[in-house]
Amino acid sequence: MTYLTRQRCKLLALISVFAAPLIVAWIMVQWRIGIPDSRTAHGQLEPDLPSLQQWPLADWTMDERDWVLAFDCSQQCEQRADRWWRLHRALGREAPRVSRLRIGGTSGEPLPGEYQAHWLERPDWTANGRIWVFDPHGEVVLSYSPQVETKNVLNDIQLLLDTNPEEPGSVEQ
């Protein structure tokens, strides 16, 4: 092999090292090869629901910094409240970033870290036992059916908190 042929082979190898990933990525995108089709969120997106400030709720105001886990507590209220309290505890050091809102239910005192509110009038888009996750601006991010597994909601909330870190300087003193 001559000197010129070796140099050309080196140049082709160098070009292929940089071009091969681009070609593979283009093939993956064009023919959907190797791209997972599964989704990461277990809840349903609800872009048509009004923001939390527009919900017909009595006796509750929102803290602008918190994510909110709201749940309808019209049936089996004690079990649901305990279930979401345990989920809140499982968040660990991220728990102060999430508030729980119990909507409805006539039971006694709220659990620690929980707010209570009541429907002024029950909207037609809500259902008994439904769960919603709101961002700090009060927009609905995800909603869940009453039969959802707690670990799925926990995974979704942890993913949301990880992808939306706290802004520097927003830590409470």
Tens digit of each residue's pLDDT (9 = 90 or more) over 29-49? 898 888 776 666 788 888 888
14 and 82: one domain? Answer: no
CA distances, 66 to each of 28, 72, 105, 140, 164 (Å): 39, 19, 23, 13, 12
Contact 133, 157 (CB under 8 A): yes
- The answer to whether residue 33 is domain-embedded is yes
In this structure, what token pair is assigned to residue 89? 């505890």
Domain interval for residue 72:
52-163
For 123-144, what is the mean pLDDT? 87
- DSSP line for 96-147: GGEEEEEES---SSPPTTEEEEEESS--TT--TT-EEEE-TTS-EEEEE-TT
More confident residue, 169 or 38: 38
Strand partners, 68: 99, 134
If asked whether residues 80 and 142 sit together in one domain, one would say: yes
**Axis-axis angle for helices 150-163, 77-90 (nearest 10):** 40
- Say whether both 108 and 24 belong to one domain: no
- Residue 124 inside a domain? The answer is yes
For residue 45, which amino acid is it? Answer: L
Mean pLDDT of 97-106: 84
Give the residue with greater pLDDT, 47 vs 23: 23
Report, as an integer, the average pLDDT of 159-166: 86
Same domain, 73 and 125: yes
In a domain, 22, yes or no: yes
* Domain membership flag for residue 20: yes
Split at pLDDT 50, 70, 90, the class of 117 is confident
Place of tokens 């908190």: 161
Give the per-residue pLDDT at 3: 93
Maximum mean pLDDT: which of 10-19, 41-50, 134-143, 161-170: 10-19
* pLDDT tens digits along 43-96: 888 888 888 888 888 877 766 678 999 998 877 788 888 889 999 999 999 988
Tell me how many domains the chain contains.
2
